[in-house]
Homo-oligomer: A and B are copies of this chain.
């Protein structure tokens, strides 16, 4: 559907100019001089010539078909030009011109006009305010970039034109080429999601790089990105907008879940490889473009110097990879071939006087070793070192089915060696730690591809009682209450309805009723007033904990009732609630937060006072499958605490995952919920019980009316 943007048979540059200072000249010239094979028309309202070619006064003057229009006229004229394009039957337009939404209200109005006209004529529009498109396969440079990248299987799109220019310049200097190179600009029409869908099906694209500042439609993005990631690696830099100002925070979840967290979850769940910086993006691009899969975690290191080998071992041990344990056979062969001072354990030290042959032996052997999944070769320039020969022999082992990352350390001496590696498409890094990060990402992508389940397992579990939860939420809305906590028709009842076990509880409006009704709850109890309007129950003596028998319960009932009345609360003061105290178990935190762009974010972590303090949590976007929930549980650092640490019970991960899945569906079923805190969920080997929790409603939710009607 976007084919005309990349392989048009004919292009009209509207705003083409013979004035070499103008973008209209640059763009026209770029298309011409880099060898575009189709028809090229220059359009300029003043007519005239560009070089030997005629300039048409309007696209209407062109007799042949035009597949793609590239617009470089002042912003104010663009709407009428689009109208002309529509009349001419052009269905693909790139607007390079700036001066639109990025400049304020007038520019936004111009964009609205363009959108309307484009819609009328079914025109797809890329830009405005963009660098254009470069396609190395059709040799089309429809941009004002001053160079043309080499042909390679990497495609790139960027929301920032400046980043495009810097990347092109960097790529040229590093022997990296591109297949499709797209500057998105203001995303008036064509956005990242269109591009993702196109590149997913594009045979000329093996790796996708993206630079994004915002994501248009989160849900669509996740599905497009996952579809793409299942086919080819998609590496993205997403610059966040760090929240510097104060936010009003009404829950733990609110304070944990910044806007970047949900983006991060969305990228991870879609299998997108997130690079932290452009530097990382480039590092990863190389390894993904040039390497076979990294199927396991075992790295072999070959070095002619001990120092860098030790540093590399450090870096590997801090990563999710590991130093491979070399097989007996490998070690035996290395022992027989390498000099006696060499270390034949991983890292393999071929010693400072190693020529290329030692590297060859070692590399050949570790590539054969089935404990080795990837190799890092380190070279320091020493007196005997054969830098170029070594580079070539490494390149010769490229097709052995395992990734090899190389680090030639130094500057001018190793420059030629590095160049050879780049030409032969061996991923080469200036510093060894970068190779580790790259291989780590390569392996994680392999894991994603191997275990991605698509959408299976996300189907709804039937036993949730949507009706019951709905009534409680509806009632809160009807009395305009934002918080659902404890008391009558409490958050607990909503959790119950979604399969989240809750604390045993009861109530009574006099002591006899309380005693009778709470018989099944069991001791010890926490006893709390239910009087209307009390905000801080503890402060006025409205709470007693550790109540262990009927006598103590009686004392607690009357003391609470009297305390509350004495503090001036009459209404409802005779009602008292009791909760079974769950003394055993690990305190877990579950949270959920609606995100308008991506959907509800579900958070799991250590509970009690530690949830915010230690920031040890994992997260997903709903729906969360049971399998994903178990993965979430395994991702937090406090694994020891979950495994029956120091006399604590081991946490039942199945039950815990059930609670996460229930919470995820609760959020999906009720978009009118803004946030949920369950803290703590007390977890033992037998059960996971919500002991405290609250639901915060979004009183502005557009779903509310639907619910209340």
Contacts and interface: CB of A to CB of B under 8 A. Distances in A.
B610 A144 contact: no
A380 B411 contact: no
Contact of A610 (B23, B162, B638): B638
A571 interface: no
Nearest to A237: B311
A558 interface: no
Contacts of A323: 244
A74 interface: no
Contacts of A239: 307, 310-311, 314
Contact of A614 (B276, B341, B637, B646): B637
A509 interface: no
Contacts of A646: 609
A416 interface: no
Contacts of A538: 647
Interface string A608-623: 0110111110000000
B279 A431 contact: yes
B241 A310 contact: yes
Contacts of A317: 242, 244
A562 interface: no
A410 interface: yes
Interface string A267-297: 0000000001111000000000000000000
Interface string A316-332: 01000001000000000
A37 interface: no
Interface in A160-181: 160-163, 165-166, 169-174
A380 B163 contact: yes
Report copies per complex: 2
A310 B380 contact: no
Interface string A407-428: 0011111110000000000000
A352 interface: yes
Nearest to A163: B307
A332 B165 CA distance: 31
Nearest to A158: B307
Contacts of A612: 640
Given A242-B314, A609-B648, A307 B410 contact: no
Nearest to A432: B277
Contacts of A310: 213, 239-241
A169 B615 contact: no
Contacts of A453: none
A172 B609 contact: no
A166 B380 contact: yes
A162 B307 contact: yes
Contacts of A158: 307
A40 to B, nearest CB: 21
A431 B637 CA distance: 31
A297 to B, nearest CB: 14
Given A277-B433, A411-B171, A645 B242 contact: no
B313 A409 contact: no
Contacts of A361: none
Given A166-B380, A307-B211, A610-B610, A411 B161 contact: no
A24 interface: no
A306 interface: yes
Given A144-B383, A415-B173, A307 B165 contact: no
Interface in A584-623: 606, 609-610, 612-616
Nearest to A648: B609
A641 B415 contact: no
Give the interface centre of A240, A341, A610 by most chain B CB atoms within 10 Å: A610
A244 B383 CA distance: 33
A415 B276 CA distance: 24
A349 to B, nearest CB: 10
B277 A341 contact: no
B314 A166 contact: no
Contacts of A277: 311, 315, 431-433
A163 B352 CA distance: 11
A44 interface: no
Contact of A381 (B169, B306, B615): B169
B637 A412 contact: no
Interface string A100-126: 001100000000000000000000000
A263 to B, nearest CB: 12
Nearest to A276: B433
Contacts of A305: 160, 162-163, 166
Nearest to A171: B411
Nearest to A260: B314
Contacts of A410: 165-166, 169-170, 173
A308 interface: yes
B162 A382 contact: yes
Given A317-B242, A610-B638, A645-B613, A278 B162 contact: no
Give the interface centre of A165, A240, A414, A648 by most chain B CB atoms within 10 Å: A165
Interface in A61-113: 102-103
A112 B116 CA distance: 88
Given A162-B308, A277-B431, A614-B616, A412 B244 contact: no
A634 to B, nearest CB: 14
A172 B413 CA distance: 10
Contacts of A613: 637-641, 645
Contacts of A213: 306-307, 310
Contacts of A502: none
B645 A159 contact: no
A229 B623 CA distance: 54
Contacts of A352: 161-162
17 contacts: A162-B308, A162-B380, A170-B409, A173-B411, A173-B412, A173-B415, A174-B411, A213-B306, A239-B310, A244-B323, A278-B311, A278-B431, A279-B434, A606-B610, A610-B614, A614-B638, A615-B637
Given A159-B307, A166-B380, 13 more contacts: A160-B306, A160-B307, A162-B307, A166-B308, A169-B410, A173-B415, A242-B314, A277-B433, A278-B311, A606-B614, A609-B640, A613-B641, A614-B616
**For the complex of A and B, 3 pairs with smallest distance between CB atoms:** A173-B411, A162-B305, A169-B410
